Chains A and B, each alone.
Chain A
Amino acid sequence: MADAQQAARAQPSTADREIVISRSIDAPRELVFEAFTEVRHLSHWWGPEGFTTTTRSFEFRLDGVWDFVMHGPDGTDYPEWITWTEIVAPERIALLHGESRDDPNAFTTVLTFEPDGATTRIVMRTVFPTRQLRDDAVAKYHAIEGGRQTLSSLAAYVSELLRRGAQR
């Protein structure tokens, strides 16, 4: 067995209940970080095209809260509640994300911002408390997404597999 290969894998403790998404943005790190820190910025980009947000309260600081409603393109409203558990400008933001205060299904997200030349790499690691809670939360996001056609590379790959499987 290739031990080195094994060691390079994600930690087994969270690998089956986490999702890691990364993205490069063509802007300096300070500017990208800033877009996460003020509601006047967040309201411009939170959620895919067609989504809007209404903020009830917003305080970007340790233990501060963003209490808001997300409006889907089909008119459905989703209550959202975020509290920041770590803020290290302009490098790192950790938060707890649920539907309301004391939501037992809340999940943790850690965002890191790394400079890469003139661009910034965002890595977003979301860890769900249990596999079941992950499935529940993600089912919600799947519902929110509806029939959106913009497939990520992994989703596109799996779609291709499904198509190939169906042809057999």
Chain B
Amino acid sequence: MARAATTSDAFNAIAEPQRRDILALLRGGEWPVTDLAQQLGMSAPRASKHLRVLREVGLVRVRGVGKQRLYGLDARGLRPIHEWVGGFEQFWAGSFDRLDSYVQDLKQTRQGE
């Protein structure tokens, strides 16, 4: 079955571990590509390629500051990921909250017997 192109889908884009490393680094602020590549132990061309993919799915943006081009997070692309994680995870976090208090009741009842 054909997969959605990596360059058009944020979920596929973040399935690649090095691209997740880049996103994690950019949480802390903006980086020029050469420093980013050095920090993550990858070649500059490879970092550039990953950054291009991340820009195309709207997860990363670039701006020029003087002679430098600084890469930073573009939160708009994270929205679909936020939505699917939020819904499912929240549902189960809520269920497990209730499980926890229910099991505490069970524990006390059993201890009282």
Contacts and interface: CB of A to CB of B under 8 A. Distances in A.
Dominant secondary structure at the A interface = helix
A21 B89 contact: yes
B84 A46 contact: no
A91 interface: no
B98 A150 contact: no
A48 B97 contact: yes
B97 A49 contact: yes
Interface string B31-65: 00000000001100000000000000000000000
Interface in B73-92: 73-76, 78-79, 81-92
Contacts of B4: 131
A131 B76 CA distance: 21
B67 interface: no
Contacts of B15: 12, 15-16
B102 A155 contact: no
Range, interface on chain A: 35 or more
A9 B17 contact: yes
Interface of B: 1, 3-4, 11-12, 14-15, 17, 27, 41-42, 73-76, 78-79, 81-104, 106-107, 110
22 contacts: A1-B42, A6-B17, A12-B15, A16-B12, A21-B89, A21-B93, A26-B104, A27-B104, A27-B107, A35-B103, A35-B106, A47-B98, A48-B94, A135-B11, A138-B88, A142-B83, A150-B93, A152-B89, A152-B90, A155-B85, A158-B81, A158-B85
